[in-house]
Structure 1
Amino acid sequence: MTTLAKTICKLIPVFFLFFSTTSSILAAGPLEPPLNQAVRESLRVRLETSVPTQGLSAAGDSLLATAALPEFYQQRLFHPAWIHDGRPGEAAAEILEAIRQADLEGLVPEHYHLEAIEKLLARISADIAVPLNMSGALADLDLLLTDAFLVLSSHYLNGRINPATVDPEWHARRNQTDPVPLLQSALETGRIRETLQGLLPGQAEYAGLRQALEHYRKIAAAGGWPRIAEGVKLQKGDRGPRVAALRERLAITADLDAELVHGDIFDSALNEAVLRFQRRHGLTDDGVVGKGTLAALNLPAEDRVRQIEVNLERWRWLPRDLGERHILVNIADFHLWVREKSDVVLEMRVVVGKPYRRTPVFSGRMTYLVLNPYWQVPHKLAVEDILPMVKKDPNHLEKINMKVFQGWGADAKAIDPATINWRELHRKRFPYRLRQDPGPINALGRIKFMLPNQYDIYLHDTPAKELFRKDTRTFSSGCIRLEKPLELAEYLLRGSRLEGRQAISDALQGAVDRIQPLPQPIPVHLLYWTSWVEQDGTVQFRQDIYERDQVLDAALSATPPAPEA
């Protein structure tokens, strides 16, 4: 071999080593400072060597987004997201401010690593030149900030609590998004806070409730309101120290003009203030401070603050788009609204489920109604409600126009109730089906509004009109009874063959269990709000009829669960 050939052979390994090294450098981009490299390596080792069963942690805080965190850093080759040249960048300042502002949404900033982040920032900012051995602390900070964004984005979009874990009767559809590209986009555009804020409900009602939270927090921080002593009911014409306390109490929540706070006489102005308070709290608006009104007046300001916070959480559980035209039922308020965009075009009182037969919360689509419906009695109601009454009175079924069938098929034949030994029947032995025929005493009234769902819940007319005069209307077995069924039918059937009140009335004269499709299906949302804000800014509160607020309050106060994958 010639001398030249030997020289070339010796240079070949050197050439390939140079080519390989140069390619690696080009692939990785410009040379990183040693501290950046150390932070990146610390992130890689931390995430690649973590034990799934033991979870991830940083600076003593458990990281919650354990599925999204590794994916996010793998996609960026473990480059830190918030640290640049050993220092937190502008994006870090933005996410820190966003964490602090979670308080405005009724959430707890400390649940998003606020304390650990602030300690690390103080430690890092204390050094003019961050030493190389601080790479672990910088990696901790980067992980905490990333986890805070991922968890906060999940909580803003879907609520901090999975409603199914605290309220098995909540079935509203939840929102979906991939948090990893969301975070990457926010970092690239520098719009951290805007991105997070964009995940919150955009409805004016949410913004109003948010403002109410700020207002009631200020009241609570200033000492709340005075407690009115127990005693006889207060009404117009009374006077004394209890009346003076009442004036001060109502002035604090702006039910009474602040200029009228002084005095101890129950005059016309105070009477109007009491009426306003009663209407805002779903109480009998008689202007008399009786037992129920006094209890609502004396509920501490801190309790009202928490009531607002739990209802902000319920808003975050909802679909972001309720529908340009939709029906909304607030179970806790016993009220229904039909809304087009932000305008209420029809509203009415409703009756909801008893406390032991609660109306579930869900979103559905109403697609048809039934004129003069049969009532096919659910088995549970047949054995729990009707069977005991038949045992007491053998003629009960005849009195309520109800027939007995054996089997659920279309060919099932009616059975003479007199041939049945009702005393031998019980919950576990009841092989019959009960059906109430159309008529003036039919439990469903003359119209049934159908939104097919797995809970067999629907809206319907009722012959028991007197129940709508009561303040608390928990009398049904779960379905929604309507105060104005004809008005709702007229609205829904616009553009159909039954357009107009007269056409509907004529159809009802001869119809028997007649299905009438809607020209346009309409979204229906059965919700549970114990606090909300009207369009004019009036803050409303209602009694927690199903005792759901306390359970949700406890869940919100606990350490947050990991966001759903």
Structure 2
Amino acid sequence: MPVQSSPAGTSSRLASSALPGLLALLLSCGRPIPPAPAPAVEPTMAVLETRVGPEGSDGPTFCRSDRLCGSEVLPAFYQGRQLRPAWIDEGLTLSDAKAFIDALRLVSADGLNPENYHLSTLESVLSEIRAARAETPGPVPPETLADLEMLLTDAFLLCGSHLVHGQVNPETIESEWFIKGRVEDLAAALEKGLETNDVPAALDSLRPAHAVYRGLMRAFDEYRALVRDGGWPAFPAGPKLSKGDRDPRVVSLREILTVMGDLPAADMSGDPMLFDEGLERALKAFQFRHGLEPDGVAGTGTASALAVTASDRLTQIRANLERWRWITQDLGERHIIVNVADYRVAVVESGREVLSMPAIVGSAYRRTPDFSGRMSYLEFSPSWTVPPKLAREDILPRVQSDPLYLRKKGIRVFEDWTDDAREIDPADIDWPRMGAEALNYKFRQDPGPQNSLGRVKFMFPNKFDVYLHDTPDRGLFRRAVRDLSSGCIRVEKPVELAEYLLRDDPSWTRERIVDAMGGRETEVVTFKEAVSVHIIYWTAWLGEDGRVHFRQDVYLRDAALYRALDELAAGPAG
């Protein structure tokens, strides 16, 4: 709550006329005399008073043609300071201002445009102040100091907001985004930076603290340098290339992989047109970094990835920096991360990955949403009640083409969705004449080796009815691209995941877990401590190998984010 005070101009005039009496009163009371406002500070306070108003209701929208994006919060900030400037110091050294402007230039490493935070205008005002002080010994116009003051504060609050929340509201471009973001007191962060004379550290404290974010910043810097140097050449179209081939296109492939850092100098061949073992090894490294089948063959999929320009990869990194700014700072001391774009589930403990496995995620038609939850229990030998949509779209067409489908899959039919619904014989239903809209039967698949959920499911209750589970279709994990499910996440290592989650209970040995997974009755086991689960969509990150990894945008979410970011990065605020 801002501290209420009388207008600054009135206070100073009263202080001037009653100074002797006030001095005597203060001395007689034994109280220290507060320092008088500096010659530059008091006039600046008077200008701030006219701009933000005593109640902070009539603040300006523009300052030197720059829109003050924080015009609604600036009045409260200055009322809390009793209109005393935050940046204008007694001798006009402006040390905090200069240090902050230097830090502002560095946010380009976050994929942000410093010009969106008044950088050019701030530099212009500083030059104007330096020129004014050099030409005449008199005071700098207070309007100029107030301009600098308000632009600096607005720049910190706006840039800080973008570091904390991101530039783009994810809910406006991603309908499947349901993750809570961070909450930070930006004004308090600025005040702390001013008190400690370290505003750059205050700004840095607002960046996501996740190691992946800092890694992406390094990746962004690396790819900016690649773009400045011209990137890599285009890969010519043609038939696939593999070890032993001799082709002029091999020369281009070598050059591309060298620029990308996948082909070290030690693996360079004497014959640049020969696809040798060293080039095959380099191509496998490239394929691994891009989520492709690492077969060492430059086929259609690999050629498409090679064709992506350095500039496009830089944009991809910038988009994923933005995504990291959307999520909470505290993922949990131990947590499960599902990267949908990477088809992978990882268990992280104290910042270290302790378990990782391939996953199968929702198809482009039935996307896995982005959200966070708390995994609190698992079910061994689960049954599966088929959701109505899947019953209409998947089960009914299969039954109509194969009358024995339900029996083969161990699926039972109930007359409706009530708890005590009567089971009916599938043979009594006229399936060929059954329409999807009229289908009101409940289908339930009993526990067993054919159950679509496999032998165990891991539950974190949510409105999407999405969870992690086993699968009987183990061969699907051999595919490089695995957007094959109806929205839930199938995991390759269900036994290992169950072992980890039940490790606090010594009675749950691996042998007991395997036995429970093979049972004919469902067994529910509640964890002693729930584990956070975060389902995210990342298409770029810096791996533990120190290399940048990219993934295909299977849900086509990057394009919408690129457009939104390009609109914001176009130029200075105005």
Q: What is the TM-score normalised by the length of structure 2?
A: 0.89
Bigger shift: residues 518-527 or 454-463: 518-527
Deviations 1:276-315 (A, max 9, x none): 1111111111111111111211211011111111111112
Residues 113 and 569 in structure 2, CA contact (< 8 A), matched pair in contact too:
no
Report the equivalent of 2:108: 103
Report the equivalent of 2:384: 375
Displacement of 1:427 after TM fit? 4.7
2: CA distance, partners of 1:50 / 1:56: 16
Is the counterpart of residue 71 in structure 1 residue 80 in structure 2? no
Report the equivalent of 1:7: none
Displacement of 1:481 after TM fit? 0.5
Report the equivalent of 2:310: 301
2: CA distance, partners of 1:248 / 1:304: 17
Report the equivalent of 2:441: 432
Deviations 1:375-415 (A, max 9, x none): 11112211222223333344432332222224434322223
* SS of corresponding position for 2:215: helix
What residue ranges of structure 1 are gaps of 5+ in the alignment?
Answer: 1-13
* SS of corresponding position for 1:242: helix
Deviations 1:74-114 (A, max 9, x none): 01111221123583611101211121111011111111111
Displacement of 1:33 after TM fit? 5.2
Residues 165 and 181 in structure 2, CA contact (< 8 A), matched pair in contact too:
yes
CA separation of 1:28 and 1:560: change in aligned 2, threshold 3 A = farther
* SS of corresponding position for 1:40: helix
Report the equivalent of 2:29: none
Which of 242, 248, 251 is the equivalent residue of 1:244? 251
Displacement of 1:421 after TM fit? 4.3
Displacement of 1:339 after TM fit? 2.3
Displacement of 1:342 after TM fit? 3.5
Is the counterpart of residue 491 in structure 1 residue 500 in structure 2? yes
Residues 404 and 415 in structure 1, CA contact (< 8 A), matched pair in contact too:
yes
Displacement of 1:557 after TM fit? 2.1
Residues 381 and 516 in structure 2, CA contact (< 8 A), matched pair in contact too:
no
CA separation of 1:18 and 1:349: change in aligned 2, threshold 3 A = closer
CA separation of 1:406 and 1:246: change in aligned 2, threshold 3 A = same
Is the counterpart of residue 146 in structure 1 residue 153 in structure 2? yes
Aligned partner letter, 1:57: F
Bigger shift: residues 517-526 or 254-263: 254-263
1: CA distance, partners of 2:521 / 2:159: 54
Which of 417, 420, 424 is the equivalent residue of 1:415? 424
2: CA distance, partners of 1:442 / 1:477: 15
What residue ranges of structure 2 are gaps of 5+ in the alignment?
Answer: 1-13, 27-31
CA separation of 1:466 and 1:260: change in aligned 2, threshold 3 A = closer
Report the equivalent of 1:193: 200
Which of 138, 143, 146 is the equivalent residue of 1:136? 143
Bigger shift: residues 321-330 or 283-292: 321-330
Residues 51 and 59 in structure 2, CA contact (< 8 A), matched pair in contact too:
no
* SS of corresponding position for 1:84: coil
Report the equivalent of 1:173: 180
Report the equivalent of 1:514: 523
Aligned partner letter, 1:488: L
Q: Pairwise mapping of residues 438-457 of structure 1 onto structure 2 (< 5 A)?
A: 438-457=447-466
Report the equivalent of 1:202: 209
Q: Aligned pairs, how many?
A: 546
2: CA distance, partners of 1:130 / 1:316: 47
2: CA distance, partners of 1:270 / 1:321: 42
Bigger shift: residues 245-254 or 333-342: 333-342
* SS of corresponding position for 1:429: coil
Displacement of 1:158 after TM fit? 2.4
Report the equivalent of 1:549: 558
Is the counterpart of residue 228 in structure 1 residue 235 in structure 2? yes
2: CA distance, partners of 1:78 / 1:215: 44
Displacement of 1:559 after TM fit? 3.0
2: CA distance, partners of 1:145 / 1:130: 25
Report the equivalent of 2:371: 362
Aligned partner letter, 1:464: D
Report the equivalent of 2:9: none
Is the counterpart of residue 184 in structure 1 residue 195 in structure 2? no
CA separation of 1:442 and 1:21: change in aligned 2, threshold 3 A = farther
2: CA distance, partners of 1:473 / 1:363: 21
Aligned partner letter, 2:162: H
Residues 498 and 504 in structure 1, CA contact (< 8 A), matched pair in contact too:
no
Is the counterpart of residue 39 in structure 1 residue 44 in structure 2? yes
2: CA distance, partners of 1:70 / 1:124: 24
Which of 525, 549, 574 is the equivalent residue of 1:540? 549
Which of 501, 504, 513 is the equivalent residue of 2:510? 501
1: CA distance, partners of 2:53 / 2:428: 75
2: CA distance, partners of 1:20 / 1:555: 61
Report the equivalent of 2:472: 463
Which of 315, 320, 326 is the equivalent residue of 2:335? 326
Report the equivalent of 1:93: 98
Residues 459 and 468 in structure 2, CA contact (< 8 A), matched pair in contact too:
yes
Residues 251 and 261 in structure 1, CA contact (< 8 A), matched pair in contact too:
no
1: CA distance, partners of 2:293 / 2:515: 38
Report the equivalent of 1:350: 359
Residues 173 and 560 in structure 2, CA contact (< 8 A), matched pair in contact too:
yes
* SS of corresponding position for 1:540: strand
Report the equivalent of 1:112: 117
Report the equivalent of 1:317: 326
Report the equivalent of 1:60: 65
Bigger shift: residues 203-212 or 74-83: 203-212
2: CA distance, partners of 1:499 / 1:370: 14
* SS of corresponding position for 1:37: helix
Displacement of 1:207 after TM fit? 2.0
CA separation of 1:46 and 1:423: change in aligned 2, threshold 3 A = farther
* SS of corresponding position for 1:404: strand
1: CA distance, partners of 2:483 / 2:21: 76
Residues 284 and 471 in structure 1, CA contact (< 8 A), matched pair in contact too:
yes
CA separation of 1:424 and 1:237: change in aligned 2, threshold 3 A = closer
* SS of corresponding position for 1:352: strand
* SS of corresponding position for 1:337: strand
Displacement of 1:343 after TM fit? 3.1
Which of 212, 222, 226 is the equivalent residue of 1:219? 226
Bigger shift: residues 316-325 or 290-299: 316-325
Bigger shift: residues 461-470 or 125-134: 125-134
